[in-house]
Chains A and B, each alone.
Chain A
Amino acid sequence: MATKVYMEALSPTMEEGQLVQWLKAEGDEIRNGDVIAEIETDKATMELIARGDGILRKIFLDAGGVAEVGAVIGVIAPADEDTSGIQGASGSASPAAEASAEPAVAAPAPAAAPVAPAATPAPPAQEAVAPVATSGRVKASPLAKRLAEEMGVDIARVSGSGPGGRIVKRDVEAAKSSGIAAPVAAPATWASDGVEFEDIPVSQMRKTIAKRLVTSIGPVPTFYLTMDIDMGRVMEARKSINGMLEKDGMKISINDIVLKATAAALRQHPNCNAQWHDGFIRRYNSVHLAVAVAIEDGLITPVVRNAHAKGLVQISTEVRELAGRAREKKLQAEEYTGSTFSISNLGMFGIHEFTAIINPPEAGILAVGGIEDTPVVVDGQVMVRPRMRITMSCDHRVIDGAQGSRFLQTLKGMLEEPTAILL
């Protein structure tokens, strides 16, 4: 009865072994228990013992050879037995060994995976702004979020009294009773059918946004300038202007005024109204303002051409019309290209301050926060004033700190005394 000599697992972690030397030769008599070879394992050199009696009829693995655990490396059999049918099976485990060479217990069927990541929520597309840089994450307790949903309160409009502005239950309850009940955006849902995740294909628009803005943050040496503006006079101006427009059924927004002031200020600081190109800076004499608009699945920046030369009403009308067509994805290419400066306003989300990412090849972008009643010191007295924070991102290759600061000073002056825009 022939006995196959296997490459044995001589250490628990061994997967293959190297034959160091045979201690018996073909033709030698072998007794069960004799040491017949030395095998180098992953841990040490170990002895291989014979498991049968007979003659060592055939060696399939020479000294120095390597074989996987379970490979047949020799045959011991009586001299007269026909062993031609036994092959050295290098590398493959014996058929019997294969079954149990696999790890033993099959993993028990897992319970249904409890949650799946949310499908991305549609942002509330109420006004002409969109997140360009920092995402507008609302800090709220899980309970507050749930209650807001149940009560029909737009949590983005609730101001939080918890640490770090966290919105908590009492804030939602207060908001409900004071009537901030705008329809809530489609909430994130947990899929409960056991699906672990869902892949959402990236749209062309999203690819473009990604590509372009990655090329901005990457190579553009950006610095940021922040300024607080007292918006009291702008608010009065708006009221007064809207009073005049009432008979035409028209209304302008704070943002329209900000756009107009920005265009006027840029006229006075053309080095901020410029573009970086390979080898030269292009300074524009006209101001073509890109206004960030949130649309389903992303953002687009329609351009108000020659904003410096347009009146407030015209700017307002154009922005509204462009934004509307932007949302319907009906903008022509020339309507969202060719801008010299960009502006983004997240104030209506309750954003106090943010930094926007420059749209290359432009040299600057203005990020406008919301107007908040803020205690400030005026002539040594503490007063509450409506304040707005703007942050300008500047490409240092084109705009220096002083230049950007001077532009902002001009802009601040215009907003704090809007009649300066007329100059």
Chain B
Amino acid sequence: MHTLDPRALRPDFPILERRVNDRPLVYLDSAASSQKPRQVVEAMVDYYYHHHANVHRGAHTLAVEATELYEGARSRLARFLNAPGPEGVVFTRNTTEALNLIVASWGGANLGEGDEVVVSVAEHHANLVPWHFLTRRLGVRVRAVPLTPDYRLDLDALEAAIGERTRVVSTFHMSNVLGTINPLRRIADLAHAVDAVMIVDGAQGAPHLPVDVQAFDCDFYAVSGHKMLGPTGVGGLWARPEILESMPPFLGGGEMIRKVALEDSSYAGIPARFEAGTPPVAEAVGLAAAIDYLEAVGMDAVAAHDAALARYALERLEGIEGLTLYGPRGGDRGGIVTFNLEGIHPHDVASALDAEGIAIRSGHHCAQPLGATLGAGATARASFYLYTTEEEIDRLTEALVKTRDFFKAFA
């Protein structure tokens, strides 16, 4: 097991030297988007200064270099997910687009009236709303499985929900609100027992946990670059190649075709069939640099650091009178801590913390159905990453006590 020292990594992240409202920035919103190390930004600058051209077309030197860098990024992402090869990796804008691709292409071709998609109540909107399109268009039904009282997926309820109409089980690797980590292999086994496909929303999983799509035995795994030290505008979908091969195109245009006549066209093989138009080449190069950075630190070390910070934060925040915590206890959770201060709306908490230079997220975290389940429509969320220190959690704790006392004067 590697360990990591956030203080040794922080100099790679220039933004962490910023001051906000006259105080050193404490950035606790990495679950929304991570900060970027110099290595990622410099890789993108180097690409634009020395190698840029359009990919997969033209015989000139720059076009060849750009294509090699872009395809190299695909191979790196495949290796990072422990995919058997790069042909199952499609670059998308983000996890949301990857999930929409699955729903529109695979779902549109394979689902019909009364077919069921099993999800949990804790899904991000990106794993609910695209399915609702198919509900309207095709009569597909979404069935949501509850959580246990300790905020873990209720596996008995999941087993009961999966039946002969189940065609899809689609859920998160790590919850973006609760930090809950799903036992993906067990879920995939339950899905495959009824010949359903297993889709994983890896938006929080890929940045924070070791990913092994072969060990998980999932059929799809979707990621966002910007949450894993990479740039915005690039994400990825890994799909089991034999499934991807069977899927119709998602978007039409250049790059994804075999032959085009005025009235009809035929389509390229995988993964090009799913990448219409000029792709985000510089962003893919940046993502590859982010993957190199994460692999050098070690994903087991990242996961252990996140878990240690979560334990520390839960301990500190538990001591604050009037503070309610949401999410599982124990070591099997990610670096996301969600809470509410009694009688103070989370937006007001976030403004008060911002005045202290502390960035957290407040609101429904794009998981409105979960908020309804928790009985807390809006919550405050602090999320950690490899650059987060215990001292920053101490500053959060002190600022929360001050916030509570400031508003308490008016209760």
Partners in one complex: no
Contact surface of A with B, Cβ cutoff 8 Å: none
